[in-house]
A and B are shown apart, each in its own frame.
Chain A
Amino acid sequence: MSASSPSAVSLQPAVKSRRALPRLLLAVVLFCTLEFAVFRSGWYTRYLEPDSTAGSMQIVLHIERQRYQPGTPRVLALGDSRMALLERVADGMTGETPYRFDTISLAGTHPRCWYYMLRDIDPDARHYSAIVIPLASYQDEDLENLADADVDIYYLVPLLRLSDALDFSMSFESWDLRRIALQDTLFKGLAYKRDLWAFAADPHGRMNRVHWARTDAAAANYAFVGPHNTMEGLQVDWDARKIVRYPDSTTPQIRSGLRDELLRPTGEYTGKRTAYLRKWLGRIVNRYRGSPTRLIFMRLPRGPLIRPYVVNAPTSAVREIAARADGVLIDKDYFDQLEQPPLFRDALHLNEKGCEEFTVLLVRKVTDILRTAGRN
Chain B
Amino acid sequence: MADDVNPALRAELDAAIAVIDPQIRGLHDIAVVSITTNLLIEVNKEISDRERRRVLLQNAINCLNAANEAMTALEHDGYPELPPEQLSSTNYAELQGQSSDFDAAIGVFVPEAKAATVSIGLGNPEDKPGE
Q: Do A and B come from one complex?
A: no
B-side interface residues toward A, CB under 8 Å?
none
A-side interface residues toward B, CB under 8 Å?
none
